[in-house]
Chain A
Amino acid sequence: MRKVAVIGLDSVPPELLYDKLLDRLPNIRRMYEKGVHGKLRSCDPPITVPAWMVMMTGKDPGQLGIYGFRHRKGPSYGEGYIVNSTHVKERTVWEILSSHGKKSVVLGVPPGYPPKPVRDALIVSCFITPSADRPFTYPSQLKEEVLKAAGGKYIFDVTFRTENRDAIREELFDMTRRRFDVAEHLAKEHEWDFFIMHEIGFDRLHHAFWKFFDPQHPKYVRGNKYEKIDEEYYEMVDGRIGRLLEIFGEDCLTFILSDHGSKAMKGGFCINQWLEKEGYLAFKTDPTSVTDIDKAEVDWGRTKAWGWGGYYARVFFNVKGREAQGVLGPSALASEKKRLTERVLKIRDDAGKRMGNQVFEPEKLYKSTLGDKPDLMVYFGNLDWRSAGTVGHQGMYLSENDTGPDDSVHSMDGVMMMYDPRRSLKGAEVRGAEISQVAPLLLRAFGLDPAKEGIEVRPPDGMVERVA
């Protein structure tokens, strides 16, 4: 019987995997040469949550009602929530497979906490899990097995420390090795038709170390002690992928997928300070030190719009009848969105050049817009600049992340590779694939019709016959 496995490598960009490191990675190279490969375009926004759920449900972020890790609760100014697995209302690939009697192993796919019960599935929650003391598996008794397979300690995520990168490095490698130990154990000791694992370590490697290994990064220093850390980490994972391929066996179609790419960060742009300068945002007392917008003394009676930080900016308008102290008449919202969009598009970078920003209205971007959506979404400089939500900075431009150490930002293209041990696909390149097309493709690999499962999106061009 055909089995399908997905090795999910968070935030791996084609430029690193295919262009820079492929020759050092014998197992991935074998998959590349004998299988098919291509870029995999992320969703908007290209963020881990919602991207993996877009991939696993075939729905867009608006249909999922998930626009990032953190959400504003209704029209409140400060109250928010962190997305967890219970917010995902659409069926994932493994939930659909379960209704067809297929067994799945699901390791760490975000948002995976708390683990949702699915018949015939073994589930281990994701990096959002508060601690290993919690029930982080389904069924619950799987937890002991996972801890044992991980050598007594399962690590969900690394802890970022501002200036102790040696510690991050050690924990990063340790976390990933333990995850692959668990993956090997689950793949070997349990029956499954569908196996999926997610490794967050790549994303952490990129955010913590990009400036050390990328000569194009503005802060790169030749000869630094972490110059080869990308090679070391990718090589280590390549070795583990080789071992997994052995366990998966000859009947298994294996995918390597990433949810978005990564690239060097140019800097941060202070969205709220800019909104203040443009007359949209006012403070009762001007912040004298760097302060979160949630904690700043915003004068809501004089504020028309405010923004959130992150790899993209979310902008909210202060609308009468919606927000408690709304100032903008609902009929003026559309024209204010247009006016602000025009201004955002004119923003220049610290060198005086047009930044090249993009502004999206969720209603125009998605098939539907459930949940707590922003009024506008902004990418600064093709995402080269992150959005800094904090206020109280000296200028509008930051050379560092305003909230911690950060060397990389997200890019739109991740990777997709597929390898069938039983047949050569001659290293063909797949073009134009998008993450929402993964779920229907995986269902096709099991001979299921995605449309009958409520998924409108079609698999990537030319891929259906390759998974048949």
Chain B
Amino acid sequence: MGKTLPTKYTTVSIPKTLHARLEKLISTKTGFKSVSDYVTFVLREVVTMHETSQSPDPFSSKDIEEIKARLKALGYL
């Protein structure tokens, strides 16, 4: 009991400038304690999105109405 499960980690390289920007970002905004935690979180989200093909709709309902009006005026609908 109380024994933590072994977790395997590996290292990925990111540009130092990006690392510096991430450090600044998490210190002010995200609440993450380390760049590694933040990067893991973001990558998990992105990978899941790709694996499930559930990317968020890039168009808002207002966008869709506007695009539909435009396509209609052009004869596409």
Contact = CB atoms under 8 A, between A and B. Distances in A.
A binds B: yes
Given A69-B77, A113-B58, A404 B72 contact: yes
A47 B76 contact: yes
Interface string A392-415: 000000000101111001000000
B73 interface: yes
Contacts of B39: none
Given A70-B68, A82-B67, A405 B77 contact: no
B63 interface: yes
Nearest to B56: A86
B55 A70 contact: no
B51 interface: no
B75 A401 contact: yes
Q: Which of A47, A81, A128, A157 has the most CB of B within 10 A?
A: A128
A207 B74 CA distance: 7
Given A86-B58, A130-B59, A70 B77 contact: yes
Contacts of A405: 73
B71 interface: yes
Interface of B: 53, 55, 57-60, 63-64, 66-68, 70-77
Interface string A109-137: 00001100000000000001010000000
Given A82-B67, A404-B72, A114 B77 contact: no
Contact of A207 (B57, B64, B75, B77): B75
Contacts of A406: 74-75
Nearest to B49: A86
Contacts of A130: 59-60, 63, 66-67
A450 interface: no
A286 B73 CA distance: 25
Given A84-B59, A86-B58, A128 B67 contact: yes
Pick the most buried of B63, B64, B73, B77: most chain A CB atoms within 10 A of its CB.
B77
A203 B53 CA distance: 32
A84 B68 contact: no
B77 to A, nearest CB: 6
A310 interface: yes
Contacts of B63: 130
Contact of B64 (A47, A82, A85): A82
Contacts of B71: 69-70, 82
Given A70-B77, A130-B67, A311-B75, A86 B59 contact: no
Given A70-B68, A82-B64, A130-B66, A404 B59 contact: no
